[in-house]
Structure 1
Amino acid sequence: MQTLVPRPANLAPLAPEFPWPDSKKTVLFTGFDVDAESVWIGMDRKNTDRLVTMSYGGYEARVGVPKLLEVLSRHEVKATFFVTGWTVEAHPAMCEAILADGHEIGHHGYLHLRPEPGNMDVMIEEVDRGLEALKRVLGVTPRGYRAPGGESYTELLELLVSRGIQYSSSWRDDIRPYRHVLPGGAGPIEIPVNFSFDDWNFGMTHRTGSRALFGREDVLNIWKDEFDQTREWGGVTTMVMHPQVSGRPMRIRILDQFLTYVRAYDDVWIATGAEIAEHFATHEAAGQKTCDVE
């Protein structure tokens, strides 16, 4: 039997305190996971022939992403879209529209396969094929990565660093960014996720995983309450939205109204993942320089 050592799963030190730009009090990180049909293929390869099941994901290119881009433009919000390599290849026009509107493109695997420890051959292919597709189709070298299924492990973080990924947005253990600590040294910056902002929990139901849908006021109140307290704590509100969920007619109103609510405050920095990571790295470097001088 394997000996279990009681120690924290995350060995990174506590998230450092540093000011946000322009004396802002808090940050909103508007992030989308653009899975399209790949999320359904990743669940079960047989879904490639289940065309109604696939149509859940196909909604993104046909309706979801174009409508979301309209909302973001109206609120003057630049977001980060974590896109799978399969999606880039299957829906290049949709992805080009995201890029044309000035949003950040992040890495989200290739076929939306959930990272599993001990399966590194699969993950190397997932990461490398995703990188290759983003570069070939969009000319993009992503700075950020969000794990499909929200899972991660040490070897995967090491792989991301070796491929030039600067930040991750997958973990759930803080409200401020921090730097991962790996056996060989520094890992990527982590911009933690707030699970309450994962719209899949509230708005996705289907034949093989039916569950009750949450109404607009239910979700909007959760989002407002989470944002309000995160703002008081000076943290980052990290959203995990999916165009095949939040791009639906009623649900797009939730995002629209939430952004209106956030915009009423003048102390919120609305930033992409790359901007947050760059800000973190700048203060990290300044702190290290100060320590060196001392």
Structure 2
Amino acid sequence: MTYDLSPRPLNPAPSAPHFDWPHGKKSALFIGFDVDAETAWIGNNHANVDRMVTTSLGGYDARVGIAKILDLMDVLNLKATFFIPGWTAEAHTAACEPIVRAGHEIAHHGYLHKCPDRNKLDEAREEIDRGLAALKSRLGVTPVGYRAPSGENFPELLAYLSERGLRYSSSFRDDIRPYRHKLADGRPGPVEIPVNYAFDDWNFGITSRLDGRPLFGRDTILPLWREEFAGTHEWGGVSTLVLHPQVSGRPMRWRILHDFLAEIAARDDVWIATGAEILAHYEASAAPA
């Protein structure tokens, strides 16, 4: 592949339009969980399928993490969006079904959590199609939202998301307010609900036996989340959380997340919404595409 390195905005989407959040709220909170299970460990390194201790980190989702996160959402009376790879839906159907029954949103997160690669277009499209088929057959869901596995995307994939009925993405990190993508041919693409990397629990709460990354506790995470939320709120943005049951479903991290969400839920100036709700509000309120 020849790479175009000419100077230009690499994301051609127009600026995020101004619109008010519902009910006079000053900012929004989007609670998103990536239910990767073992795909976090085998999707981009297939050899790990034979390393049972390594994959047991992901196995925690179905054994403990998903149920504990659902308990947390129930305790706080909150609704979230669960981005589920198709492989997870097939391997752990019984653990995922309660997410649907509890009324949370189910969104697309690839099939095997492979990082999308522009040099492998057929594989990238297959990840979308197999994920859609699995979510429909196992959970009875046709999702409207998508979060890129391993957090990557490219123009042809954005266009394919639109073709397959995926109307919003929550992957990009270049804004604090929703905006609509512009496809390579000029057509409007999915709405982006941008991610804030500071709210990704994977950065602070997980390592592996062979990984020297440190773990961080309450005194690091809560001040960081509070400060980042306070700034985003002041600027009228959306605080998009990238959480994982195999991280925040662990005992200490469950308590940290509980306390952070309880603080925000107690406020009367924050709209806590699913991705589908934010999409619907954007389409009703923002400037036409």
TM range (shorter): over 0.9
After TM superposition, the structure 1 = structure 2 runs for residues 60-139 of structure 1, keeping only pairs within 5 Å, are 60-139=61-140
- Which one-letter code corresponds to 2:245 in the other structure? P
TM-score (norm 2): 0.97
Deviation of 1:264 (Å): 2.6
Deviation of 1:13 (Å): 1.2
Deviation of 1:2 (Å): 5.3
Deviation of 1:3 (Å): 5.5
Deviation of 1:167 (Å): 0.1
Q: Once structures 1 and 2 are overlaid, which stretch shifts more, 8-17 or 231-240?
A: 8-17
Mapped pair 1:152 → 2:153:
yes
- Which one-letter code corresponds to 1:211 in the other structure? R
Aligned residue for 1:292? none
Task: Please list the CA deviations of residues 22-52 of structure 1 after superposition, one character each: whole Å capped at 9, or x if unmatched.
Answer: 1111100000000001111113111111111
- Which one-letter code corresponds to 1:127 in the other structure? I
Match of 2:253, SS state, is helix
After TM superposition, the structure 1 = structure 2 runs for residues 44-63 of structure 1, keeping only pairs within 5 Å, are 44-63=45-64
Q: Distance in 1 between matches of 2:209 and 2:141?
A: 36
Aligned residue for 1:264? 266
Aligned residue for 2:164? 163
Mapped pair 1:236 → 2:238:
yes
Q: 1:195 aligns with which of 194, 197, 208?
A: 197
Deviation of 1:182 (Å): 0.7
Q: Distance in 2 between matches of 1:59 and 1:72?
A: 18
- Which one-letter code corresponds to 1:201 in the other structure? N
Q: Distance in 2 between matches of 1:150 and 1:59?
A: 22
RMSD of Structure 2 on Structure 1 (CA) = 1.2
- Which one-letter code corresponds to 1:123 in the other structure? A
TM-score (norm 1): 0.95
- Which one-letter code corresponds to 1:243 in the other structure? P
Mapped pair 1:211 → 2:213:
yes
Task: Please list the CA deviations of residues 5-29 of structure 1 after superposition, one character each: whole Å capped at 9, or x if unmatched.
Answer: 1011111111011011111111000
Match of 2:122, SS state, is helix
Identity %: 59
Match of 1:78, SS state, is coil
Deviation of 1:148 (Å): 0.5
**Residues 1:3 and 1:267: Cα distance change in structure 2 (over 3 Å):** closer
Q: Distance in 1 between matches of 2:19 and 2:157?
A: 28
Deviation above 3 Å: which 4+ runs of structure 1?
none
Q: Distance in 1 between matches of 2:112 and 2:143?
A: 17
Count residues with an aligned counterpart: 287
